Structure 1
């Protein structure tokens, strides 16, 4: 029996993996695209820092940013990962001022992140035209499975919208909370994470009461398939 996902989604850089899974790009092209994106960010992109904020909602963090740093756009919410888990991005001095204010103002934990560049940050949009030019050399195919986009929390409406969404992905926040809620509201009951560990499923667990399956190596693939087939059989038997 063939197993087919109802949706695919990737968190931040994981959106490029989702494009491969959905058949939009072959792995080799996606790898080239990620490499070019990283090179552009390192050589022409914004400089800055990022930090994870635990124990505050995105709206509370945004309010704290406005109080600590009146200059709009210096620090923004980069990832709305779920209830009480937010990532911010900005210039280094702005991040320092905001994280100090958050630590003193109710955040349970403030964790500076080791990053190569501050993505999902407005100033990173400066490399968008170069990234778009490179994507014009690639062939994007219609997805065989709906891809829930980071920037909207909704499926890409069509394949022609995907390159523009990937450009906006540089400078707009990851709407992971909205993405998970969208999929759950439309019947998703089990989330399968492919990666080195259950990091993204840890975020999903905070958002929704759903089944979680983690695939980290070849051995876990067979275990995951067996688990998913058992779940499907249980649903059919109801």
Structure 2
């Protein structure tokens, strides 16, 4: 395989779990060293929290975001340390886009850890707990879902926010709007319309106050042009200008995640293999559904690392 055929992708919220990367941490000192760096930036022992903490604490968005970013960076560093093939593209789902930008050399790791903790706080305070909701919708096409959300928005803001794979879209908004949309979606023939266990309506227009705060935080930060191009959630394209990247990160917080567009763009650029760096294999499953020709690997254990290294060496 050559570099042009490989992309690394980075998971977003929902992939965190207590005990994640435990075997990698035991086998490779660099994994714990990466967590120690993040711990120094935030002032608490992140590895201990990830291995011995409560799942409920890991699920708080201001904790989830730095934890997942750190896990992804740890896996990327390990990949490089083990002589893994350098990818020609990177992408990340929502929070994962920050992981991609760190791994691509655009954002300093410690700065990013602090930034995504703040991002989590901004997102949580934009809509008080209990006022927002999200739901996964299976079995309807995108246009139908967008149309039904518009109809349901008379009850409260509700929007299509994650285009994850064909036939799988996440909606979000005010509780009443989401509940009304679920009712209409089921009536329209959705196979499933399930509320998700999240604490805020991410990627909706309700997140604009969080976007304004994130813009202030980013204005004070230094970004570089990525060494490896990153495909952005907002439009499924790459961007090299640091100021444009900052604007995309702000827009992303209150705009839909166009993951289907991201994966289609990577496939159109010649990518044949994606490697998911971090816990779980949510993106690997989505990527395969979007582009059936893709080989989709993930790295979260010594075994999956060895398998990925072997696959790209052929």
Tell me the TM-score normalised to structure 2 length.
0.69
Q: Which aligned pairs between 1:74-153 and structure 2 lie closer than 5 A?
A: 74-153=157-236
Q: Tell me if the contact between 1:37 and 1:131 (Cα under 8 Å) persists in the aligned partners.
A: yes
- More helix as a share of residues: 2
Could you list the runs of 5+ residues in structure 2 that have no partner in the other structure? 1-82
- Out of 5, 10, 28, the position equivalent to 2:92 is 10
Q: Tell me if the contact between 1:45 and 1:126 (Cα under 8 Å) persists in the aligned partners.
A: no
> Aligned equivalents of 2:269 and 2:97: distance in 1?
20
Deviation at 1:78, TM superposition (A): 0.3
**Is 1:49 the counterpart of 2:143 in the alignment?**
no
Deviation at 1:70, TM superposition (A): 4.4
- Out of 259, 281, 289, the position equivalent to 1:206 is 289
CA RMSD after TM alignment: 1.7
Q: Deviations over 1:141-175 (max 9, x none)?
A: 11011100000111124222111111111110001
Deviation at 1:207, TM superposition (A): 0.8
User: Any idea what SS the aligned residue of 1:115 has?
Assistant: coil
- Out of 110, 114, 120, the position equivalent to 1:32 is 114
**Is 1:165 the counterpart of 2:165 in the alignment?**
no
Q: Deviations over 1:122-152 (max 9, x none)?
A: 0101122221111122211110111000001
User: Any idea what SS the aligned residue of 1:8 has?
Assistant: strand
Tell me the TM-score normalised to structure 1 length.
0.90
User: Any idea what SS the aligned residue of 1:53 has?
Assistant: strand
**Is 1:222 the counterpart of 2:278 in the alignment?**
no
Q: Deviations over 1:59-80 (max 9, x none)?
A: 1101222333347x81111011
Could you list the runs of 5+ residues in structure 1 that have no partner in the other structure? 231-238
Deviation at 1:30, TM superposition (A): 1.2
Q: Deviations over 1:23-76 (max 9, x none)?
A: 1112211111110011122224464110010111221101222333347x8111
Question: How many residue pairs end up in the alignment?
Answer: 229
CA 1:67–1:2 in structure 2 vs 1: closer, same or farther (change >3 Å)? Answer: closer
CA 1:212–1:77 in structure 2 vs 1: closer, same or farther (change >3 Å)? Answer: same
CA 1:199–1:102 in structure 2 vs 1: closer, same or farther (change >3 Å)? Answer: same
Deviation at 1:2, TM superposition (A): 6.0
User: Any idea what SS the aligned residue of 1:24 has?
Assistant: coil
Q: Deviations over 1:84-141 (max 9, x none)?
A: 0000011000000000111121111112111121111001011222211111222111
**Is 1:182 the counterpart of 2:269 in the alignment?**
no
User: Any idea what SS the aligned residue of 2:256 has?
Assistant: coil
> Aligned equivalents of 2:91 and 2:177: distance in 1?
31
